Structure 1
Amino acid sequence: MKIASRRICFVVAYIGIAGSLWAASQWWEKGLAARLGEADISPGGCYRVEIFKPFWVLPNIFHPRVHPDELDKPEWFPWWGYPGFFRLYDHRTGKLISETRIYDLETGGGGMTWGAGSGEIFAGMIPVGPNVADCIGDRPSNRTPKV
């Protein structure tokens, strides 16, 4: 009976430690991410988009890969080309508007579209975030943006 209870305690402790590490990894993959290159600023100066490389401890094949349209289920054990995610800021105030999931930028990324007609800002096929009410489509204006 003593051996069985020790095994149960070991299994419970193992599950607890694994669960804690998984929860922490969900934070640190974006919390400790490295910024890549310079920020993209929209033509009218309303938005700033920054690209980040996630901080992964395990090799990238151990992280599921989702498609930007999110119609398919996540792919497990994929070969990542270039993992990354985007953060969208209001460039005038510095306020974070949105943050994307981690995508393979090699297959889903591309040029910036600032929301003309759609109300969404895209990087290739990846939806980065919504337009703010006073910058729909981010048309260039004569006013000077506040930095």
Structure 2
Amino acid sequence: MRVFLLLLLLFPVLELFVFVKVSAAIGFFPALLLIIGGSALGLLVMRVAGIATALRARESLQRGELPAEDMFQGLLLAVAGVLLLIPGFISDVLGLICLMPFTRHFAARKLRQRAEAQAMRQRAFQDDPFAARPPEGGHRPNVIEGEYQRRDQ
């Protein structure tokens, strides 16, 4: 948690530092135009990614498949769009990395492996033959089964 807080505080400082260095190299207004262009690209990516993901998910459902892969691809495209939308060069580079297809496929494969491993761990503990069960003569709740009729007088 402290690492996340440190990163949250350090990220804007790094973005500002990189912006100052880039603006010193190419000029203030070209650097500002690059940031505005990156934000516009992020907005476009988010709009296109949402529509494309919805269409691919619908096609997968019509074929009778679960659209997990398509949904994850759409999620990564949305993350890329948000990163491009945030003003700054570091977030733009991270967003462009998320836009690359091989990066999305690699991340999807890793996420699927982690999900399968988690499912195997949960299944291993669910079918445990040595799980603690109440003894036969142990404490059982008092339950009386029967039927009743309400008689109002």
Instruction: Return the TM-score normalized by structure 2.
Output: 0.29
- Identify the structure with the greater helix proportion: 2
Instruction: Return the TM-score normalized by structure 1.
Output: 0.29
- Identify the structure with the greater strand proportion: 1
**Greater Rg, structure 1 or structure 2?**
2
